Amino acid sequence: MQIRKITAYKVDLPLHEGSYKWSGGNSVTVFDSTVVAIETDAGITGHGEVCPLGPAYLPAYAAGARTGMAELAPGLLGLDPCELGILNRRMDQLMRGHPYVKSAIDMACWDILGQATGQPVVTLLGGRHAADFALYRAISQDTPEAMAASVARYREEGYTKFQLKVGGDPDTDIDRIHAVRALLRRGDVLVADANTGWRQHEAMRVAAAVRDTDVYIEQPCLSYEECLAVRRHTDRPFVLDELIDELGMVLRGVEDQAMDVINLKISKVGGLTKARQIRDLCVSLGIAMTIEDTWGGDIITAAIAHLAHSTPPEFLFTATDFNSYVTVSIAHGAPQRQNGRLAAPQAPGLGTTPKPEALGPPVFSIGK
């Protein structure tokens, strides 16, 4: 089988809540997502998606994903999309770094491999470990009262895991954590995610103030050294996210005992192939994972579900259903949250079929 044509589409994904706010005054109102279609000479077409959380979150932005894919595409024509190792090696030879540019292409080729073999991607990634898995809900930064009200509302919908967007004024962040924990119940999980937003001294203050609160601290500061210093001064369980952008960082973090959990985002590490490698390493090393992406619609939600569902449950800290945050559905067959839980689709490949009317005209089309 050979790749014949690569086409990209720009899709706008507005939010049900109107906007999503996190540390440093950052916010997004409409997500700019990119869907890629890879056509083959066997008549099979695979789809992938990439959706950076705006340009201020990671070294990634939506127009950059499209420009990068157009740069890569001519060098991928003629490759066998089922040979994922060769495909990823070629992408890394053609373009150094830029993992998010490669993610949707890799994802689309997993979709093709699944369709070609008649298997859902979850089976190819190791198999379905349970009936379904528990999701978390990200709570946009707001006043402590508003965030507590939001948590109460989503708890009614079945969620039991919550990730508060903190990383703002430390005193307000302490209030946010206390206000939300007070209404949660035994077994519920609370994560305070600062998204790199605290200086080291601020993170130390917050960690000290929540010493007796059942809460996880996620990525308090920008640099590894700052995060490690905070980690060594708190006994709260600790998550690293933005810093974990490749396998080597996982090994470094394990060596330093820098975290208990990592946040594994598919596009942050370059696609499902590399995310699976990190996932399997974390299972071997005893590190639990939040499995998700920087954002996305139906196709990314399906890819997350396949990777999360094939992860041993004791190592799957939680995962995300981004398609329930956005107002637009771009594909049929995507998994839908039920009572705060999700399951990978049963159909071959990713199990999603894009809706042509949702994609609109292509941004580029390379090959024939």
Catalytic residues: 165, 265
Q: Report d(CA 91, CA 89) in Å as an integer.
A: 5
Residues 6+ apart with CB under 8 A from 55: 61, 62, 64
The burial of 85, by beta-carbon neighbours within 10 Å (0-12 exposed, 13-18 middle, 19 or more buried), is given as exposed
Which positions from 186 through 205 interact with Mg ion, judged by CB under 5 A?
A: 193
- Supply the minimum distance, in Å, between the C-beta of residue 195 and Mg ion: 6
| Residue 241 lies near Mg ion (rule: CB under 5 A) | yes
With CB atoms as reference, the residue minimizing the distance to Mg ion is 241
Q: How many CB atoms lie within 10 A of CB 10?
A: 17
Q: Cα separation of 326 and 312, whole Å?
A: 28
Binding mask 260-279 for Mg ion (x = CB under 5 A): ---x----------------
| Positions 135 through 194 that interact with Mg ion (CB under 5 A) | 193
**Owner of token pair 């995507």:** 334
Beta-carbon contacts of residue 93 (< 8 Å; ≥ 6 apart): none
Q: Which is nearer to Mg ion, 202 or 218 (CB)?
A: 218
Closest distance of CB 352 from Mg ion, Å: 25
Which tokens go with 197? 């937003």
Q: How many CB atoms lie within 10 A of CB 212?
A: 7
Residue 187 one-letter amino acid: G
Q: How many residues bind Mg ion (CB under 5 A)?
A: 3
Distance in Å, CB of 290 to Mg ion, minimum: 7
The token duo for 226 is 């700052």
Six-digit token string for 156: 């009614």
Query: Smaller CB distance to Mg ion: residue 49 or 241?
Result: 241
Rg (CA), the chain: 20
Which of 184, 23, 47 shows the shortest CA–CA distance to 103? 47
226 binds Mg ion (CB under 5 A): no
Q: Which residues pair with 20 in a beta bridge?
A: 28
Q: How far is the CB of 53 from Mg ion (least distance, A)?
A: 10
Q: For residue 365, what are the β-bridge partners? A: 7
Residue 196 CB, shortest distance to Mg ion, in Å, is 9
Residue 293 engages Mg ion in binding (rule: CB under 5 A): no
Q: Which is nearer to Mg ion, 34 or 195 (CB)?
A: 195
Q: Phi and psi at residue 161, in whole multiples of 5°?
A: -125, 135
Alpha-carbon distances of 161 from 27, 91, 184, rounded to whole Å: 22, 36, 9
CB of 238 to Mg ion, least distance (A): 12
Nearest one of 63, 85, 79, 64 to 6, comparing CA atoms: 79
Instruction: Identify which of residues 194 and 305 has a Cβ nearer to Mg ion in the complex.
Output: 194
Q: Which span (107-115, 146-154, 256-264, 328-336) binds Mg ion, by CB under 5 A?
A: 256-264
**DSSP 3-state assignment of 161?**
strand
Q: Report in angstroms how near the CB of residue 192 gets to Mg ion at its nearest.
A: 10
Which of residues 39 and 173 has its CB atom nearest to Mg ion in the complex?
Answer: 173
Tell me whether residue 190 or residue 358 sits nearer to Mg ion (CB atom): 190
Binding segment (CB under 5 A) for Mg ion, from list 172-180, 236-244, 341-349, 358-366: 236-244
Nearer to Mg ion, 37 or 289 (CB): 289
Binding site for Mg ion (CB under 5 A): 193, 241, 263
